[in-house]
Amino acid sequence: ILILPGLGVVTHAIMKNVGGRSIYGRSSLVIAVSTIGVMGCLVWAHHMFTVGLDLDTRAYLMAATVGIALPTGIKLYSWNASMLGNSMAFNLSSLWTFGLMCMFTLGGTTGVVL
Protein backbone atom coordinates (compact mmCIF):
# COMPACT_ATOMS: atom_id res chain seq x y z
CA ILE A 1 0.00 0.00 0.00
CA LEU A 2 2.84 2.39 0.79
CA ILE A 3 4.25 2.01 -2.73
CA LEU A 4 1.15 3.46 -4.44
CA PRO A 5 2.09 7.16 -4.08
CA GLY A 6 5.56 6.36 -5.38
CA LEU A 7 4.06 4.65 -8.43
CA GLY A 8 2.03 7.78 -9.09
CA VAL A 9 5.14 9.96 -8.86
CA VAL A 10 6.98 7.75 -11.36
CA THR A 11 4.03 7.78 -13.76
CA HIS A 12 3.79 11.56 -13.50
CA ALA A 13 7.54 11.95 -14.10
CA ILE A 14 7.36 9.75 -17.19
CA MET A 15 4.39 11.71 -18.55
CA LYS A 16 6.31 14.95 -17.99
CA ASN A 17 9.41 13.62 -19.73
CA VAL A 18 7.55 12.46 -22.84
CA GLY A 19 6.07 15.89 -23.46
CA GLY A 20 2.89 15.64 -21.40
CA ARG A 21 1.43 12.81 -23.48
CA SER A 22 -0.72 10.20 -21.85
CA ILE A 23 0.97 7.09 -20.52
CA TYR A 24 0.80 3.99 -22.74
CA GLY A 25 -1.99 1.63 -21.68
CA ARG A 26 -3.46 4.07 -19.19
CA SER A 27 -6.54 1.99 -18.37
CA SER A 28 -4.42 -1.15 -17.91
CA LEU A 29 -2.07 0.81 -15.67
CA VAL A 30 -4.95 2.05 -13.51
CA ILE A 31 -6.31 -1.49 -13.14
CA ALA A 32 -2.82 -2.85 -12.38
CA VAL A 33 -2.14 -0.25 -9.67
CA SER A 34 -5.59 -0.88 -8.15
CA THR A 35 -4.89 -4.62 -8.15
CA ILE A 36 -1.54 -4.02 -6.47
CA GLY A 37 -3.37 -2.04 -3.77
CA VAL A 38 -5.94 -4.78 -3.17
CA MET A 39 -3.43 -7.63 -3.29
CA GLY A 40 -1.08 -5.68 -1.04
CA CYS A 41 -3.71 -5.96 1.68
CA LEU A 42 -3.88 -9.73 1.14
CA VAL A 43 -0.16 -10.53 1.18
CA TRP A 44 0.82 -8.49 4.22
CA ALA A 45 2.39 -11.46 6.00
CA HIS A 46 4.63 -12.70 3.20
CA HIS A 47 7.58 -10.96 4.84
CA MET A 48 7.18 -13.21 7.89
CA PHE A 49 8.72 -16.29 6.27
CA THR A 50 11.13 -16.84 9.17
CA VAL A 51 8.60 -16.98 12.02
CA GLY A 52 7.40 -20.51 11.36
CA LEU A 53 4.00 -20.13 9.72
CA ASP A 54 2.14 -23.37 9.05
CA LEU A 55 2.23 -24.94 5.60
CA ASP A 56 -1.23 -23.82 4.47
CA THR A 57 -0.52 -20.20 5.33
CA ARG A 58 2.84 -20.30 3.56
CA ALA A 59 1.23 -21.83 0.44
CA TYR A 60 -1.45 -19.11 0.34
CA LEU A 61 1.07 -16.30 0.83
CA MET A 62 3.36 -17.78 -1.83
CA ALA A 63 0.52 -17.96 -4.38
CA ALA A 64 -0.66 -14.43 -3.59
CA THR A 65 2.87 -13.06 -3.80
CA VAL A 66 3.42 -14.70 -7.19
CA GLY A 67 0.02 -13.33 -8.28
CA ILE A 68 1.08 -9.76 -7.57
CA ALA A 69 3.81 -10.13 -10.21
CA LEU A 70 1.33 -9.83 -13.11
CA PRO A 71 0.05 -6.31 -12.32
CA THR A 72 3.62 -5.27 -11.51
CA GLY A 73 4.74 -6.49 -14.92
CA ILE A 74 1.90 -4.60 -16.61
CA LYS A 75 2.95 -1.44 -14.79
CA LEU A 76 6.59 -1.78 -15.84
CA TYR A 77 5.57 -2.60 -19.42
CA SER A 78 3.40 0.53 -19.61
CA TRP A 79 6.25 2.68 -18.33
CA ASN A 80 8.76 1.17 -20.78
CA ALA A 81 6.39 1.46 -23.74
CA SER A 82 5.69 5.09 -22.88
CA MET A 83 9.38 5.92 -22.78
CA LEU A 84 10.36 3.96 -25.88
CA GLY A 85 7.43 5.09 -28.02
CA ASN A 86 8.08 8.82 -27.59
CA SER A 87 11.02 11.16 -27.66
CA MET A 88 12.05 11.51 -24.06
CA ALA A 89 13.81 14.44 -22.45
CA PHE A 90 17.16 13.46 -20.95
CA ASN A 91 17.23 15.07 -17.52
CA LEU A 92 17.54 14.13 -13.88
CA SER A 93 13.96 12.91 -13.49
CA SER A 94 14.28 10.62 -16.53
CA LEU A 95 17.47 9.13 -15.07
CA TRP A 96 15.71 8.71 -11.73
CA THR A 97 12.74 6.89 -13.29
CA PHE A 98 15.01 4.64 -15.36
CA GLY A 99 17.08 3.81 -12.27
CA LEU A 100 13.96 3.09 -10.23
CA MET A 101 12.62 0.76 -12.92
CA CYS A 102 15.93 -1.13 -13.06
CA MET A 103 16.11 -1.36 -9.27
CA PHE A 104 12.46 -2.46 -9.00
CA THR A 105 13.00 -5.17 -11.64
CA LEU A 106 16.17 -6.48 -10.00
CA GLY A 107 14.53 -6.43 -6.57
CA GLY A 108 11.53 -8.37 -7.84
CA THR A 109 13.76 -10.89 -9.58
CA THR A 110 15.88 -11.54 -6.52
CA GLY A 111 12.78 -11.65 -4.31
CA VAL A 112 11.60 -14.73 -6.19
CA VAL A 113 14.72 -16.60 -5.10
CA LEU A 114 14.14 -15.81 -1.43
Q: What is the pLDDT of residues 38-96, one digit of tens each?
A: 988 888 777 776 677 888 888 888 888 888 889 999 999 999 898 887 877 788 988 89
The whole-number pLDDT of residue 84 equals 86
Q: What predicted TM-score, i.e. pTM, was given to this entire model? A: 0.80
Split at pLDDT 50, 70, 90, the class of 34 is very high
**Burial tier of 75 (Cβ tally within 10 Å: 0-12, 13-18, 19+):** buried
Using alpha carbons, list the distances in angstroms from residue 54 to 58, 64, 93, 101.
6, 16, 44, 34
Q: Where are the domains of the chain?
A: 4-113
The whole-number pLDDT of residue 68 equals 86
Q: Which residue type is seen at 85?
A: G
The whole-number pLDDT of residue 74 equals 93
